[in-house]
A and B are shown apart, each in its own frame.
Chain A
Amino acid sequence: MTTIPSNLWSIPLIVAIPLLAAIVVNALYDKRAIRYISIISALLTLGISIISPYGYHWFTGHPAFDPTTFTFTFDPGIPGFRLSLEFFFGPMQQIMIVISSLILVFCVIMATSGLTKHQGPYLAMIFLLFASAAIIIMVNDLYHLWIAVEIGSLIVVGVVVGSGTSISHKAALKYAYFSAICGSGLAIALALLLGITGFPNVSDVVRVINIFGVGGMETILYISFGFFILSWMYAGGLAPLHPLKSEVYGASYPHATAVLQAQSKLMLVAIGIIMLRIFGTLPFVKEVMIFLSIITMMLGVVIALLQIDFRWIIAYLIISHSGLVTLGIALGTKEGIIGGIFQAVNDIIYMSVLLFCCEALYYFGGATSTRGSFGIAKKSPWLCAAVLLGAFAASGIPPFNGFQSEIILIQASINAGFPEIAVIILMVSVTTLIALLRAIYRIFLKPPENEVAANAQIPKSITIGTWLFIILTIIIGVYPDIALRFIVPFVEGGFLP
């Protein structure tokens, strides 16, 4: 067996390359070179995450302190207290980052070809959005956890503001307002944890709590959990903050929403697993997480039914399906966590299909309202086929990927003794189909009553991106092991080697 490195080369590059790309494109502002630099950086990140081996990275190169022998060691296999801040890149991180960077590549291509000239700062935000997602999924220390949530929320504001409409400005302001509450809430949670354990590394915190206990200071752990869950709600858009997050999704351009939703799914998975690791043994913790997930699922999908714009329907469905992801993690069983993470992967993929189709509608003059009927199917039958397939995948119809993860979640909830949850999951998937088909019928299938641009040219990047992700939904739907072989070892191995 090969030893796990504590200085894996790929981890800092996955964060530093998007960071440097963001700095450069922001400084270039409106030059043509932005397009090439962005595409090359996105491809580089994708390539690195594909070929990278697994391991840790101890930033600034300080070793771990082994309390049994009073020596310092660079071997992460020895359970010592980490002096450095730590990232971990494992199979689960790999599949999450690969899929997010694939979305990043298409998002960057679509943005650079479809947007007006001054796109440097906007693209910088997109790159940093990806970086914050990559940080949070790899993170294993409290400092970076906080900074990823903090910079992540700020960048979400930037991406939304970038579209420059009054709706997006309002959405961004409201979201930024809650970032102040939830960001400082997370800081309090982490400060309390640091106070009772003395260690910033999540593994060390868990070890200290398990070995030494908290010395009758359970109240602190509970309050810390309370504040922790605020940031979970905030980063992922769980109830009661779903109106703000869905506004953010709806008010930004669809290609940006694709990255935004990937980022929030990654945040939900990462923060959820860290919460399970630290607080999982406390009473009522899982119950609170389960109830939050179910309320999010049902509110998201019910309100999606009431929307009259395709973008907003997708926005609320993203929220609702975030509830599916968190539900699996909240169940706390191995099967549930596997289902939750798998659902996150699938969700990112099929929501991207829908969002890319939504982006294509901009080339028909922004025909996304369900008030009118535009007959897009006649003008672009392939786009209509793509959006229908995306809708089927989102509703968990076989042979698409949504089916595979939802069936794992349903089994997990029945095995955990909650058949009611299985009923709710089924209802969510059925209602998803109703909500989507309502809009698809009006916009695509119904004979046209409203005029749209007659000779609209959908860029190749959108077509290729949409169909690539549809193929992915079918491949994962038919051979779920392609994704599960990354997720199962991560969960069975207790999250970290």
Chain B
Amino acid sequence: MNELRGKRGILAVIALLIIGIGFLSSLFELAGNVRPGVSQIYNSLAHLVAPNNIATWVYDWRGYDTLLETAVIYVGAVVSAMVIGRGVVQMKSCPQEPPAQSKPLEFHIETLTVILKYLGLPAAILLFSYGIMVVTASSTSGGGGFQCGVIMTAAYLLAAIFYGKNNPIRFGKRFIIGIGAAGLGGYTLLGLPGFLTTGFWQYNIGADVWGIAPSIMRFIFGEPFRLSLVLKEGVFFSSPGIIPLINVAEAFNVIGAIGLIYFAFIYGWQEE
């Protein structure tokens, strides 16, 4: 930190002050002056898709952006594993220093209390079930694929902490990478039905807000997820369409990604 001592440090503090004052003054100006803009139109249309407005926002209006966001998680995991040694490459013609390969984490489970020993596994199973509940209810209540993935990998980590490396939930290398690939690939491919029938990638053919999808596609992707909203004004029907499917794919992706990070750090990565 020698660079930030003395005169340089003072200059850096002045610079930070200027940045801080500028940024805060802009926030003060913005307070109370936010224009709703496009969100008014979104909110007026949201009831035609999923009752959970956030699910509609994230997976329908800006669904393609969420796909790339999902890819960020996947890439983050792949890069983390790469740092540890998975998939490091060298030029065949030009030998360099040997690539980094990490050893497994040294941890031993010796002082496990009886309660943890017997309740750990049921807790992990409960967490798994909770994850399934969260992902299936994505379009009607809070939750979704991201959350499900995080909850399920939390169960994995819990089992690893309680029972060590030979825990009951032993995800293998191939399984974790496969499930991540299936998740992200599945999410990507869920854009295809809309693309092939209407020309718009990831058009929600099940909900079909704009009535441009063929009725058979609307039936296939819409009927299984149809919801009814019973109000005193009457009963209203809507279908979240492909949103529940995207959420399942999302969950697989997150399990694969976070699972890969846990796996690589716990077991290390050494090429056979």
Chain A residues at the B interface, C-beta cutoff of 8 Å: 5, 7, 9, 11-12, 16, 19-20, 23-24, 26-27, 29, 57-63, 65, 72, 81-85, 111, 114-116, 118-122, 124-125, 128, 135, 143-144, 147-148, 150-151, 154-155, 157-158, 161-166, 169, 172, 188, 192, 194-201, 204, 208, 215, 217, 219-220, 222-224, 226, 253, 362-363, 365-366, 453, 456
Shortest distance from the beta carbon of B182 to any chain A beta carbon, whole Å: 9
Shortest distance from the beta carbon of A41 to any chain B beta carbon, whole Å: 13
Please state if A60 and B33 are interface contacts (CB–CB under 8 Å).
Answer: no
Please state if A26 and B202 are interface contacts (CB–CB under 8 Å).
Answer: no
Chain B binding surface, main DSSP class: helix
Please state if A60 and B100 are interface contacts (CB–CB under 8 Å).
Answer: no
Please state if B61 and A169 are interface contacts (CB–CB under 8 Å).
Answer: no
Please state if A166 and B97 are interface contacts (CB–CB under 8 Å).
Answer: yes
Please state if A226 and B185 are interface contacts (CB–CB under 8 Å).
Answer: no
Q: Which B residues, 143 to 197, have Cβ-Cβ distances below 8 Å to chain A? A: 177-178, 181, 184-185, 188-189, 191, 194-195
Specify which chain B residues have a CB less than 8 angstroms from the CB of A58 in the assembled complex: 200
Please state if A169 and B83 are interface contacts (CB–CB under 8 Å).
Answer: yes
Shortest distance from the beta carbon of A497 to any chain B beta carbon, whole Å: 19
Please state if B82 and A59 are interface contacts (CB–CB under 8 Å).
Answer: no
Q: Considering the chains assembled together, what is the distance between the CA atoms of A29 and B81 in angstroms?
A: 13
Specify which chain A residues have a CB less than 8 angstroms from the CB of B87 in the assembled complex: 26, 29, 118-122, 162
Please state if B26 and A65 are interface contacts (CB–CB under 8 Å).
Answer: no
Shortest distance from the beta carbon of A421 to any chain B beta carbon, whole Å: 27
Shortest distance from the beta carbon of B79 to any chain A beta carbon, whole Å: 4
Choose from B68, B91, B199 the contact partner of A115 (Cβ within 8 Å): B91
In this assembly, does B247 line the interface, its C-beta being within 8 Å of a C-beta of chain A? no
In this assembly, does B88 line the interface, its C-beta being within 8 Å of a C-beta of chain A? yes
Q: Considering the chains assembled together, what is the distance between the CA atoms of A65 and B25 in angstroms?
A: 33
Q: Considering the chains assembled together, what is the distance between the CA atoms of A406 and B231 in angstroms?
A: 69
- The residue on A at minimum CB distance from B98 is A164
Shortest distance from the beta carbon of A323 to any chain B beta carbon, whole Å: 23
Please state if B38 and A81 are interface contacts (CB–CB under 8 Å).
Answer: yes
What 7 pairs across the A-B complex have the smallest Cβ distances? A198-B37, A61-B200, A121-B87, A61-B203, A164-B99, A164-B88, A7-B199
Q: Considering the chains assembled together, what is the distance between the CA atoms of A62 and B62 in angstroms?
A: 10
Interface size class of chain B, counting residues whose CB lies under 8 Å from the partner chain: 35 or more
B81-95 interface mask toward A, CB cutoff 8 Å, 1 = contact, 0 = none? Answer: 111011111111110
Q: Considering the chains assembled together, what is the distance between the CA atoms of A59 and B94 in angstroms?
A: 45
Please state if B39 and A198 are interface contacts (CB–CB under 8 Å).
Answer: yes
Q: Considering the chains assembled together, what is the distance between the CA atoms of A57 and B85 in angstroms?
A: 39
Please state if A23 and B184 are interface contacts (CB–CB under 8 Å).
Answer: yes
Specify which chain A residues have a CB less than 8 angstroms from the CB of B25 in the assembled complex: 219, 223
Please state if A121 and B61 are interface contacts (CB–CB under 8 Å).
Answer: no
Choose from B74, B82, B198 the contact partner of A7 (Cβ within 8 Å): B198
Please state if B72 and A23 are interface contacts (CB–CB under 8 Å).
Answer: no
A59-B202, A63-B210 given; A155·B90 CB < 8 A: no
Shortest distance from the beta carbon of A112 to any chain B beta carbon, whole Å: 10
Q: Would you mind naming 25 contact pairs between A and B with Cβ atoms under 8 Å apart?
A: A7-B198, A16-B201, A19-B184, A59-B64, A59-B201, A59-B202, A60-B194, A61-B200, A82-B38, A84-B200, A118-B88, A143-B62, A147-B72, A151-B68, A151-B72, A158-B78, A158-B82, A161-B79, A161-B82, A163-B89, A166-B97, A195-B34, A196-B33, A208-B37, A219-B22
Known: A12-B201, A23-B185, A164-B100. 17 other contacts (CB 8 A): A12-B64, A20-B185, A27-B178, A59-B63, A60-B63, A61-B200, A83-B61, A111-B89, A125-B82, A143-B62, A155-B79, A164-B90, A164-B99, A196-B33, A217-B33, A226-B19, A366-B94
Choose from B41, B75, B79, B92 the contact partner of A114 (Cβ within 8 Å): B92
